[in-house]
Amino acid sequence: MVRYKAVIAYDGTNFNGFQKQPNGRTVQEEVEKTLQKMNNGSPVTIFGSGRTDAGVHAIGQVIHFDYPQERPLERMRFALDTQTPEDIAVSSVEIVADDFHARYHVVEKTYHFKVQIAKPRSPFRRYYAAYYPYPLDLELIRQALPDLLGTHDFTSFCATGGSIEDKVRTIYQANLEVNEAGTELTFIFRGNGFLYKMIRILVGTLLKIGNGRIPADSIPAILEAQDRNAAGPTAHPEGLYLAEVKY
Amino acid sequence: MVRYKAVIAYDGTNFNGFQKQPNGRTVQEEVEKTLQKMNNGSPVTIFGSGRTDAGVHAIGQVIHFDYPQERPLERMRFALDTQTPEDIAVSSVEIVADDFHARYHVVEKTYHFKVQIAKPRSPFRRYYAAYYPYPLDLELIRQALPDLLGTHDFTSFCATGGSIEDKVRTIYQANLEVNEAGTELTFIFRGNGFLYKMIRILVGTLLKIGNGRIPADSIPAILEAQDRNAAGPTAHPEGLYLAEVKY
């Protein structure tokens, strides 16, 4: 057996998330179906760096899997890329050590979150950015972002009901960019890991700050509260992109 | 009756073109359904600046229609924009003279055609740009573009079977732009009018020129031939955008 690592991109619109499940089409299921075909019908299991929810996209999701033969890498990449459905692309394939694990060995993840602020709403972005039609003072958001940097207990920014005990994470980067036309925001978050729905709750909170309904200096108090109810709402999944995973 | 002119945008992916027809969902049908609802159930007919085919998009399609009352323009725009489906947006509404006609009074149209050249193909652009995976020398295309400018008989660049007799059109602008990442081309064509599938045949021909399979200096001879077989193939509809219509 040879262990392969692959970087894949997918448009999450028509997937019920990354992880295989009884109901709905998933990324894992489609990639495994393709690998099974390539592997003469024998099943191949893939492991992702983490799940993504329904509607969430990936530019640089990382997976690993074991495959019986060592094949030329570009041929392997091309076969996977062209045989998976059109909403999945395979950017690169490499051979890794037998003990490499796409989930357990993650050192750093980067997420982007796109928010369309155009009026009227562009029909072309309806599946690729969350829409925010209310007034926004981007300076208020930029004042709040640095308070997220560093190591904190992010319980307040984590959806309830998860099984993860340790909610301490470190954020290295929290930026806001605006496109040239002024119609779309991109939040960029880079950290050693993120909790369930954490980016979406961060963005939901930051938009409330930009809209003046939560004070710009309230991030420290929200973190301190360790209570999901202290933060803002959860932003819609279509704005979220898993951009990069580092090992 | 008051005559309104409206600028609309639509994502053509899930439409069987602009014009109402027995089979499939169309832009005209959806806008007319919304206007009928707003008009207490009385039907309203819309007239577009021209048809767009299935899968073709619009940023600035123009329509006109007659409506019994004069209503505040922003309220009219907002009602139309929010009550039409998510893949149609209404950018502006104005009241025009009773004899204004969205189709017959067109003076100038601008189309964009997007071609994705990324490897691997981005899943996010699959409905919004044609894909061209072969080598391209953009300089060859840029050499050929000026030969399209001016007044010509464009029979060679017109799909056969249409009913239009006069195939002389004037092109004012024919440009090629590349995005910063080098992953997507945008062709921009501005002229006094375009024949059926003309932009798509122009792009199909220009891509063959960029690929070295048609010489860069052959546009004059292709025009001269007045024969559809002299030109290249028809590029896919998902790359085409009706960008602007002037009156």
d(CA A197, CA B9): 33
pLDDT at A172 over 80: yes
Distance (Å) from the alpha carbon of A60 to chain B's nearest alpha carbon = 12
Which chain A residues in 78-97 lie under 8 Å from chain B, judged by CB atoms? 81, 86-91
Q: B128-149 pLDDT, tens per residue?
A: 999 999 999 999 999 999 999 9
pLDDT(B161) > 80: no
Q: Note whether B122 contacts A89, CB cutoff 8 Å.
A: yes
- What integer is the mean pLDDT of A172-181? 97
How does pLDDT run across A115-130, given as a tens digit for each residue?
A: 999 999 999 999 999 9
Q: Is A89 a member of any domain?
A: yes
Asked if residue B192 has pLDDT above 90, the reply is yes
Q: Does B159 touch chain A (CB under 8 A)?
A: no
Contacts of A90 in chain B (CB under 8 A): 120
Residues 99-128 of B with CB under 8 A from A: 120-124, 126, 128
Verify that A238 and A142 share a domain, yes or no: yes
Query: Quick one: A146 and A220 in the same domain?
Result: yes
Q: Annotated catalytic residue: which of A53, A87, A147, A153? A: A53
Determine, yes or no, domain membership for B26: yes
Closest by Cβ to A123, choosing from B87, B121, B122:
B87
Q: Does B179 touch chain A (CB under 8 A)?
A: no
Q: Give B203 to chain A, closest Cα distance, Å.
A: 22
Same domain? B142 vs B85: no
Residue B103 lies in a domain: no
Q: Residue B162: is its pLDDT beyond 80? A: no
Q: Quick check: helix, strand or coil at residue B155? A: helix
Give the CATH number of the domain where residue A76 resides: 3.30.70.580
Interface touch A9/B87, C-beta < 8 Å: no
Q: What is the pLDDT of residue A80?
A: 97
Out of A9, A77, A124, the one facing B122 most closely (by C-beta) is A9
Question: CA of B90 to nearest chain A CA: how many angstroms apart?
Answer: 7
Question: Tell me, what's the pLDDT at A163?
Answer: 74
Confidence class of residue A88 from pLDDT cuts 50, 70 and 90?
A: very high
Average pLDDT over residues B31-55: 97
Numbered residues of the known binding site of B: 111
ipTM over 0.85: yes
Position B102 in a domain? no
Residue A134 marked in a binding site:
no
CATH code of the domain containing A175: 3.30.70.660
Task: Using the predicted structure, report yes or no on whether residue A230 has a pLDDT greater than 90.
Answer: yes
A108 HSE (CA, 13 A, CB side) = 9
Residues A122 and A214 placed together within one structural domain of the fold: yes
Averaged pLDDT, A186-192: 98
Task: Return the residue of B nearest to A120 by Cα.
Answer: B91
**Beta carbons of A123 and B88 less than 8 Å apart:** yes
Of A44, A62, A96, which residue constitutes the final position of a domain? A96
Look-up: residue for tokens 């300076």? A139
**In this structure, are A89 and A116 located in the same domain?**
no
For residue A114, what pLDDT is reported?
98
Rounded average pLDDT over A28-37: 98
pLDDT of residue B160: 84
Check B89 against A10: CB less than 8 A apart.
Answer: no
A128 & A221 share domain: yes
**Domain end residue (candidates: A51, A69, A96):** A96
Look at B89 and A120 and tell me if their CB atoms are within 8 Å: yes
Q: Which residues of B touch A81 (CB under 8 A)?
A: 120-121
Residues B235 and B141 reside in one and the same domain: yes
**CB within 8 Å: A9 and B57:** no
CA atoms within 13 A on the CB side of B214: 23
By C-alpha distance, which of B245, B242, B247 is closest to B113?
B242
Residue A79 lies in domain: 2-96
Q: What is the pLDDT of residue A122?
A: 97
- Same domain? For A11 and A43 the reply is yes
Q: Identify the domain boundary among B66, B96, B126.
A: B96
Give which of A138, A130, A107 is closest to A209, Cα–Cα: A138
The verdict on residue A102 lying in a domain is no
Does A240 lie at the interface with B, CB-CB under 8 angstroms?
no
Average pLDDT over residues A13-20: 97
**% of chain B residues with pLDDT over 90:** 97
**Largest Cα span, chain B:** 59
Is residue B204 packed enough to be buried (19+ CB in 10 Å), middle (13-18) or exposed (0-12)?
A: buried
pLDDT (0 to 100) of residue B47: 98
Contact state of B9 with A122 under an 8 Å Cβ cutoff: yes
Closest C-alpha to A200, from A239, A149, A160, A155: A239
Cβ(A207)–Cβ(A199) below 8 Å: no
Question: Does the structure show a pLDDT above 90 at A136?
Answer: yes
Same domain membership, residue A113 and residue A68? no
Percent of chain A past pLDDT 90, that is, above it, reads 97
Same-domain status, A162 and A79: no
A123, part of any domain: yes
Pick out the residues of the known binding site of B for substrate: 111
Q: What is the pLDDT of residues A38-59, one digit of tens each?
A: 999 999 999 999 999 999 999 9
Same domain, B21 and B53: yes
On whether residue B220 sits in a domain, the answer given is: yes
Query: Which of chain A's residues have a Cβ under 8 Å away from the Cβ of B120?
Result: 9, 77, 81, 89-91
Active-site residue, A53 included: yes
Structure tokens at B12: 């053509």
Residue A161 CA: distances (Å) to CA of A155, A168, A196, A238, B139: 11, 17, 9, 22, 58
Structural domain contains residue A103: no
Same domain as A77, residue A6: yes
Q: Which whole number is the average pLDDT over B218-243?
A: 97
Q: How many domains does chain B have?
A: 2
Containing H/E element for B246?
Answer: strand B240-246
CB interface of B with A, residues 205-224, below 8 Å? none
Residue A89, min C-alpha distance to chain B (Å): 6
Question: Which residue from A9, A91, A123 is facing B89, i.e. has the nearest CB?
Answer: A123
A57–chain B Cβ distance below 8 A for any pair: yes
Mean pLDDT along residues B122-129: 97
Binary contact (B57, A126; C-beta < 8 A): no
pLDDT band at residue A160 using 50, 70 and 90 as cut-offs: confident
Flag whether pLDDT at A161 surpasses 90. Answer: no
Give the nearest partner residue to A88 out of B77, B88, B123, using CB atoms: B123
